[in-house]
Chains A and B, each alone.
Chain A
């Protein structure tokens, strides 16, 4: 054997310490491949805010591992590949993603950014937060496309208002003309009836004789009707 058991153990221990030291060195503030995360739980949830503890941190690392798996399919990211450091009471920290194949090699910034962009809504919903309250400093959230209905709503209101105003104008202009015409027709009919009645009345007066003066009162009332026209 080239190495004794004791030397083997030493080498393994050295490698282990080195790798963990490297790992710790990988994650530091302003790391070139790392991102800063800031959570504003109280602002988002108010009274229903949960307390940030190590279990929540575990969820975060797991969610991020999921996001990396989603983006780089085939690579089995584990929770241990997500290194976190510099936690503050603000609830902000730095994280860095290492490759599952080599724990010392960090994954490139672009890949991490793409992965997070793709799964942003899943990450947000895991923590009941939004783009504004779960911030990845440096990754700008894509803005939601505005909802534009086919007919602008203002045209609908305009159509309703103008339709009623236009209908009102037409009614107000046409109604007196129609009313006058109807009245004229009615009065023509009445005229014909009256002429007919007058003839019968005149016949009556001739028959009654002295009572004919009374009948003249009727023609007096007829006169009033004529002047009104």
Chain B
């Protein structure tokens, strides 16, 4: 950061080179959701057919929003709060809303990263701790809870989370989770210690490493037996599913959250750019790479899921073969996987009663392929189970968890940036505090708030935050962003800004999207989302060993006070928008001669005059 003490204005930090900026933006956009949400959506919404609504949403909603954010950040050269204040002081609340949402997302996102760290630390053992059940107290058998479910489930729910039976039972804080959370925040802090100087160097690793690991996994996974079953299952399009409106809604929300717009982080990142930079090309690059990464990641994920399903199918049949061989005292390996069906038919027709008494498990490959999972379930249960079967499990586990950690870390950078830059702009902390200490204070506050997630009910709270914080408020913020830029700032002014920055005016596609298509799509998605959510009282799955159908999760509705908190999480971030607008209106009414409200932001005024001078010359 260059500081010229004589001019009095701190020159804004800037990227070392264009690659840093692009890698940071791509890293922010590409996150855990690309790996564990998109493949799941692809699977449940008819494989290849899902790509159609997804790409339509990308073209008409994702890319315009992305371009808009990058353009305003680069133009106004301040963080999200400053940008909206510059456009119109009445819109200042949009930036504050972004900051609050970034804060809320920060705290639960880093908790997920702390879980990834926990698994990473445990991947250096032989055998892997989630491959075996522990013994019970008197060493006569295996732990009951583990036997009824699987070792992988037991390790996740009991040894990692020590989860309670429902969200109301809070339990106590678990020291191992606190320790992992502290490590996760320390890693975030060390990357952010010098602002974008240190972060810009960290992204060289965190943004590129996941691609390397995905490629390694791609090569390994496609050579596993059963991979082709998984891939065919994923990509075989089922066209009739497109008639379901839920598919379109999910595609639109997925593209929206995947691109990480409305967090304010992208605005901050592009504000460090030089004034004349082709942000149109940047936006298209980031958007396309984000979607391409999702599709690229789903190939190894689905190969591995196919491999796992094939393994489960084969072991199911081997169990049946063993039962049949033992019961009918046939010679070993007379019944093999290949001739199982003929033998089964023969035995069933000759001795139907005896075969029925054996209670053989029905083995259906399609059913095993259908067992889909997304989110933490995919990473910590399904994938860890698949990794056990692969030769050299420790290596694959370590690689996988480092990849997840890099993906999440680069997204955390954007979230933290969405908090730090507005705080610097709002001058909430006095200037004499060095930047390192400010970052430390923010990290400490986030860490202390996130201790909530280390309780026994922590996972349930993470799901609450994950489902509701990162959805409705962002839609509202994005809607106001687009309306603010296109109608308050004015399409003509915005076109002039873009002409200044890139040298050409936006073409008809961008204009049409910004003025009509994207706000309309956002409104439709928002209304549909609220309607769908409001139709049923929200429920959540719980892990209850005393449940009759354990190991199935027991689905219970959220208690009313949690429901109230959910409403608060959706509403509180966006209340700042009307509140700030009201405040400004009252001030304007009270003192009408202070017409130039931009005087509040002196620095912005100074920089604007400098740039106006540059424009004239």
> Which residues from chain A sit less than 8 Å from chain B, CB to CB?
38, 40-43, 88-92, 142-143, 145-146, 153-158, 161-162, 165-166, 168-169, 172-173
Determine if B325 and A90 form an interchain contact, defined as CB atoms under 8 angstroms apart: yes
Q: How far is the CA of A48 from the CA of B342 in the complex (A)?
A: 28
Determine if B190 and A40 form an interchain contact, defined as CB atoms under 8 angstroms apart: no
Q: How far is the CA of A49 from the CA of B120 in the complex (A)?
A: 40
CB-CB nearest 6 A-B residue pairs:
A88-B329, A154-B121, A89-B331, A90-B329, A42-B332, A157-B121
B507 shortest CB reach to chain A, Å: 46
**24 A-B interface contacts by CB (under 8 A):** A38-B326, A90-B325, A90-B330, A90-B331, A91-B332, A92-B326, A145-B135, A146-B132, A146-B135, A153-B122, A153-B124, A154-B118, A154-B122, A156-B124, A157-B124, A161-B183, A162-B183, A165-B183, A168-B190, A169-B186, A169-B193, A172-B190, A172-B194, A172-B198
Instruction: Give the contacting residue for A158; candidates B121, B132, B140, B190; CB below 8 A.
Output: B121
Residues of B within 8 A of A145 (CB): 135, 139
Determine if B190 and A89 form an interchain contact, defined as CB atoms under 8 angstroms apart: no
Determine if A172 and B186 form an interchain contact, defined as CB atoms under 8 angstroms apart: no
Q: How far is the CA of A90 from the CA of B183 in the complex (A)?
A: 56
Residues of A within 8 A of B132 (CB): 146
B406 shortest CB reach to chain A, Å: 14
Interface size on B, residues (CB 8 A): 31
Residues of A within 8 A of B183 (CB): 158, 161-162, 165
For the complex with contacts A91-B332, A146-B134, A162-B183, 20 further pairs of A-B residues with Cβ separation under 8 Å are A41-B332, A43-B332, A90-B326, A90-B331, A90-B332, A143-B139, A143-B140, A143-B141, A143-B142, A153-B125, A154-B122, A154-B125, A157-B124, A161-B121, A162-B186, A165-B187, A169-B186, A169-B189, A172-B193, A173-B193
Q: How far is the CA of A143 from the CA of B134 in the complex (A)?
A: 11
| Any A CB within 8 A of the CB of B516 | no
Indicate with 1 or 0, residue by residue over B315-338, a CB within 8 angstroms of chain A CB atoms: 000000000011001111100000
| Any A CB within 8 A of the CB of B571 | no
| Any A CB within 8 A of the CB of B436 | yes
| Any A CB within 8 A of the CB of B179 | yes
B321 shortest CB reach to chain A, Å: 11
Q: Which of A38, A156, A173 has the most chain B CB atoms inside 10 A of its CB?
A: A173
Determine if A143 and B124 form an interchain contact, defined as CB atoms under 8 angstroms apart: no
Residues of B within 8 A of A155 (CB): 121
Residues of A within 8 A of B121 (CB): 154-155, 157-158, 161
Q: How far is the CA of A156 from the CA of B124 in the complex (A)?
A: 10
Determine if A42 and B333 form an interchain contact, defined as CB atoms under 8 angstroms apart: yes
Q: How far is the CA of A173 from the CA of B189 in the complex (A)?
A: 11
Residues of B within 8 A of A166 (CB): 186
B301 shortest CB reach to chain A, Å: 26
Residues of B within 8 A of A43 (CB): 332-333
Indicate with 1 or 0, residue by residue over B183-203, a CB within 8 angstroms of chain A CB atoms: 100110110011000100000
Q: How far is the CA of A66 from the CA of B437 in the complex (A)?
A: 75
Q: How far is the CA of A60 from the CA of B117 in the complex (A)?
A: 51
Residues of A within 8 A of B325 (CB): 90
Q: How far is the CA of A157 from the CA of B330 in the complex (A)?
A: 50
B201 shortest CB reach to chain A, Å: 11
Q: Which residue of A lies closest to B327 (CB)?
A: A90
B144 shortest CB reach to chain A, Å: 14
Residues of A within 8 A of B180 (CB): 158
Q: How far is the CA of A168 from the CA of B186 in the complex (A)?
A: 10
Q: How far is the CA of A165 from the CA of B194 in the complex (A)?
A: 15
Q: How far is the CA of A200 from the CA of B249 in the complex (A)?
A: 82
Q: Which residue of B lies closest to A86 (CB)?
A: B329
Q: How far is the CA of A162 from the CA of B182 in the complex (A)?
A: 9
Q: How far is the CA of A153 from the CA of B189 in the complex (A)?
A: 25
B437 shortest CB reach to chain A, Å: 9
Given contacts A146-B135, A157-B124, contact A169 B332 (CB under 8 A): no
Q: How far is the CA of A81 from the CA of B190 in the complex (A)?
A: 75
Q: Which residue of A lies closest to B121 (CB)?
A: A154
B323 shortest CB reach to chain A, Å: 12
A178 shortest CB reach to chain B, Å: 14
Determine if B135 and A89 form an interchain contact, defined as CB atoms under 8 angstroms apart: no
Q: How far is the CA of A90 from the CA of B331 in the complex (A)?
A: 4
Residues of B within 8 A of A42 (CB): 332-333
Residues of A within 8 A of B135 (CB): 143, 145-146
* CB within 8 Å of A: which B411-433 residues: none
Q: How far is the CA of A168 from the CA of B179 in the complex (A)?
A: 18
Residues of A within 8 A of B120 (CB): 157
Determine if B332 and A40 form an interchain contact, defined as CB atoms under 8 angstroms apart: yes
Q: Which of A38, A90, A91, A142 has the most chain B CB atoms inside 10 A of its CB?
A: A90
A196 shortest CB reach to chain B, Å: 28
Residues of B within 8 A of A41 (CB): 332
Residues of A within 8 A of B332 (CB): 40-43, 90-91
Q: How far is the CA of A224 from the CA of B45 in the complex (A)?
A: 68
Determine if B329 and A92 form an interchain contact, defined as CB atoms under 8 angstroms apart: yes
B436 shortest CB reach to chain A, Å: 6
Q: How far is the CA of A162 from the CA of B330 in the complex (A)?
A: 58
Residues of A within 8 A of B124 (CB): 153-154, 156-157
Indicate with 1 or 0, residue by residue over B95-122, a CB within 8 angstroms of chain A CB atoms: 0000000000000000000000010111
Indicate with 1 or 0, residue by residue over B434-469, a CB within 8 angstroms of chain A CB atoms: 001000000000000000000000000000000000
Instruction: Give the contacting residue for B190; candidates A91, A92, A142, A165; CB below 8 A.
Output: A165
Q: How far is the CA of A165 from the CA of B190 in the complex (A)?
A: 7
Determine if A173 and B141 form an interchain contact, defined as CB atoms under 8 angstroms apart: no
Residues of B within 8 A of A154 (CB): 118, 121-122, 124-125
Given contacts A89-B331, A158-B179, contact A173 B186 (CB under 8 A): no
A228 shortest CB reach to chain B, Å: 11
A187 shortest CB reach to chain B, Å: 15
